[in-house]
Amino acid sequence: MIEKILNERIMILDGPMGTMIQEHSLDEDDFRGKSFVNHKESLKGNNDLLNITKPDLIKTIHRSYLEAGADIIETNTFNSTSISLADYGMEKYAYDFNHAGAKIAKEAKEEFCQNTKNFKIFVAGSIGPTNRTASLSPDVNDPAYRAVSFDNLVDCYSEQVHGLIDGGVDILFVETIFDTLNAKAALFAIDKIKSEKKLEIPVMVSGTITDASGRTLSGQTVEAFVIAISHIPLLSIGFNCALGADQLLPYVKRLSKITDCYTSVHPNAGLPNAFGAYDQTAIEMSGLIENYLKENIINIVGGCCGTKPGHIRLIAEVARNYKPRKI
């Protein structure tokens, strides 16, 4: 069904969960809720935990993006792997966070669909990069050292994917890829689980060009990145995070010329200012996104860090005036 829609129009992805959560200025007690009052480590900043302790807040954020015009909403599970959750001593809850995050997003989708009679809405299970790299050493004095192995990543991604699928996602979305080997571990886990479950579920992939070098952190150019992840069928390939719409444009142009997949982009709201905040307005960002639409190089567009429902609303309005890239 989603392929049919993508052939007809540009689809709108939502914006970041983290930016919206920050708007609520939650404290330690908010994150802990009643379930984790006695947890030893500090939990403030563990946004994925809110799937358990503040599900109504997460659903409200999903609803705000749907009302802004999003066709695809992402689960609040970007860091819901046992590897990332180890920072909070919460490794054993990885499956639960993913399952809960998927259920919340699915409920928000179903409620919105019933109220609007728009049944062309999809939930994408957000699969982040983890906080470790399989192909780079975190220790400059020991370049051969690796903080995580490929097999470790496959195991933790498998747990995440099981939780997302069991919770009812429509799509699996491996995003913000700075180390391509991490992404290959996620895709390996997905492919294995799809085969075991005899399940067909679309897979989206989005890499991160880290700077003006035009490469991912692990050193891949656009072309090398596409080759490295094309060993399993993908619904879409795109780029997100690190850069704004203006800076990402040349790389998405190159991508659109070499892939047979649908293409996506969800840039940051410009580059961060001296305080780490994003100042690009919805009007400014939608104007920059229109350059992609005029070039006819994308099929899916949304926002990453610093974007809010207002940004998504204006992007959706602009996108209605353009046809999608043909594949």
Global confidence as pTM: 0.96
Each domain of the chain, given as residue ranges in start order, spans 2-319
- Determine contact, residues 217/210, Cβ cutoff 8 Å: yes
Residue range 2-319 in CATH 3.20.20.330: yes
pLDDT in tens, the chain (327 residues): 899 999 999 999 999 999 999 999 999 999 999 999 999 999 999 999 999 999 999 999 999 999 999 999 999 999 999 999 999 999 999 999 999 999 999 999 999 999 999 999 999 999 999 999 998 888 888 888 898 999 999 999 999 999 999 999 999 999 999 999 999 999 999 999 999 999 999 999 999 999 889 999 999 999 999 999 998 999 999 999 999 999 999 999 999 999 999 999 999 999 999 999 999 999 999 999 999 999 999 999 999 999 999 999 999 999 999 999 999
